[in-house]
Structure 1
Amino acid sequence: MRTNPERRQTLLDAAIEVLAEQGARGLTFRAVDKQAGVPAGTASNYFTNRDELLTQAGSRFYEVVQPSEETMAQVTDGPKTVENITALMKEVVGRIESHRTAYLALLELRLEATRRPELRAVLTERVRADIDFNVRNHLESGQPGDAESVLLLYLALNWLILEHLTLPGIFTEEQSMTLIETAVARVICG
């Protein structure tokens, strides 16, 4: 197997594009090679099989949508207020929505995981680690709210993102911002 990290990343980014555009059934080595603009057979030199490609594409999503250092500082060092949490939640929604194809690819991977136990195990582990990190980080930062608050916001905002990216006419931008504000106020303040 090849180990050029830049080429591997290019292939995984191409796999994400293919997943978002064509779904899991369209994800082939040939489609990834074409999307990445590399010679035919390149992807098969980097991934032993399609399952490995699917699994690594799922991991790549989390690399793509990582929060910036500024955002992390806003959590740990920012004001311990509902307004700060609201601003952070708006940032999360905006960040995820700015990576539309990556999120749509993750949705495809989640559906595919219902049929592929290895992929399900990898995604379950990764999502669980992400949730645990967010809960731990929130509690350690001293922001208002508890672990259940973080979980409720995670669930509510994920569905809002899903609506925005799959059926963008459901909520206007203004409605979405109001829904985020309301969700934070109700979850944190009760």
Structure 2
Amino acid sequence: MARNPERRTALLDAAIEVLADEGARGLTFRAVDARAGVPTGTSSNYFTDRDQLLSQVGDRIFVRLTPEPGAIGTAMRPAPSRELMVELMRRLARRMAAERTCYLGLFELRLEAVRRPELRTQLTRVLRSDLDENVRLHLDSGMPGDADTVRLLYFALTGLLLDHFTVPGLHGERDLDDLIETVVNRVVPEV
């Protein structure tokens, strides 16, 4: 198996693009090689099978979606409030929009996980860990609300982003920032 980490990363990034553009059915070694601009057969030197590729694509998506070190601490400096929650949710949505391909790839992985128990186990572990960390940060920072507040915001933002990326005209003239503010104001209790 090949050991060039930069090439592996480039192949995984190409696989994310294929996944976002063509869905899980379009994710083949040949498609990844073409997207990465490498000779046919290169991907099969790095990944033993499609399941391993899917698994490592999931890992790579979470690496790309993770904020830069220190970004969370900086964002949490203002006093806890509903207004800060609105701003944090907007920042999160902007980060996801900047990594639109990753976010769409993650949706495709979720759908594929319905049919692949090992992928489902991996995604569940990673998503649960991420959600648990968000709950911990929320509670430790003294933000208004409880663990269920974070879960409700997670559900709402996941749905809003799915709509935003797949059927952007669904909510008419309302923009994403406005919808986020509405959700936060209805879910997060006043301090």
Which TM-score band (shorter chain)?
Answer: over 0.9
Q: Distance in 2 between matches of 1:31 and 1:105?
A: 15
Deviation at 1:172, TM superposition (A): 5.5
Q: Which stretch shows the higher mean deviation, 131-140 or 178-187?
A: 178-187
Alignment of 1:9-20 (within 5 A): 9-20=9-20
Which protein is richer in helix relative to its size? 1
Corresponding residue number in structure 2 for 1:167: 167
Q: Does 1:68 align with 2:68?
A: yes
Q: Which residue identity does 1:97 align to in structure 2?
A: A
Corresponding residue number in structure 2 for 1:24: 24
Q: Which residue identity does 1:95 align to in structure 2?
A: R
Deviation at 1:80, TM superposition (A): 1.1
Report the identity percentage.
54
Give TM-score, length-normalised by structure 1: 0.94
The 3-state SS of whatever aligns with 1:189 is coil
Deviation at 1:88, TM superposition (A): 0.3
Q: Distance in 2 between matches of 1:64 and 1:171?
A: 28
Deviation at 1:150, TM superposition (A): 0.5
Q: Does 1:153 align with 2:178?
A: no
Q: Which residue identity does 1:36 align to in structure 2?
A: A
Q: Does 1:189 align with 2:166?
A: no
Structure 1 unaligned blocks of 5 or more: none
Runs of 4+ in 1 over 6 A off after TM superposition: none
Q: Distance in 1 between matches of 2:22 and 2:140?
A: 41
Would you say the 8 A contact 1:75–1:141 is kept in 2? no
Q: Distance in 1 between matches of 2:70 and 2:123?
A: 27
Alignment of 1:107-146 (within 5 A): 107-146=107-146
Q: Distance in 1 between matches of 2:16 and 2:50?
A: 13
Deviation at 1:6, TM superposition (A): 1.1
Structure 2 unaligned blocks of 5 or more: none
Q: Distance in 2 between matches of 1:134 and 1:32?
A: 33
Residue deviations 1:34-90 (CA, integer Å, cap 9, x gap): 101112211111111000001111111111111234540244423211111110000
Deviation at 1:173, TM superposition (A): 7.1
Q: Distance in 1 between matches of 2:129 and 2:3?
A: 26
The 3-state SS of whatever aligns with 2:12 is helix
Q: Distance in 1 between matches of 2:68 and 2:84?
A: 16
Q: Which residue identity does 2:107 align to in structure 1?
A: L
Q: Distance in 2 between matches of 1:78 and 1:139?
A: 15
